[in-house]
Chains A and B, each alone.
Chain A
Amino acid sequence: MDYQALRQKIIDIIAEIAVDEDLSNIDDDVRLREQLDLDSMDFLDIVMELKKRYKIEVPTEDYPKLATMKSCIEYLAPKFA
Chain B
Amino acid sequence: MKTIIPVGPYHPLQAEPEFFKLEVEGEKVTGLEINIGYNHRGHEYLAQRKTYEQIIFLVERICGICSCSHPFASVNAVENLAGIEIPERAKYIRTIIGELERLHSHFLWVGLAGHFMGYNTLWMWFWRYREPILELFELITGNRNHYAMMKIGGVSKDIEDEDISSIQKTMNELEAKTVMFIKAILDDPVIAARLGGVGILTKEDAIKYGVLGPTARGSGVAIDVRKDDPYAAYDLVPWDIIVFEEGDLLAKAKVRLLECLESIKIIRGCLEQMRKGEIETKVEDIPPGEGIGRHEAPRGEVFHYVRSDGSNMPLRYKVRAPSYMNVPSNEVAVKGYDIADAILVLASVDPCYCCTERMATLYDGNKKLTGKDLLKLSWKKTEQLKKKFSHSENKLASLL
A and B found bound together: no
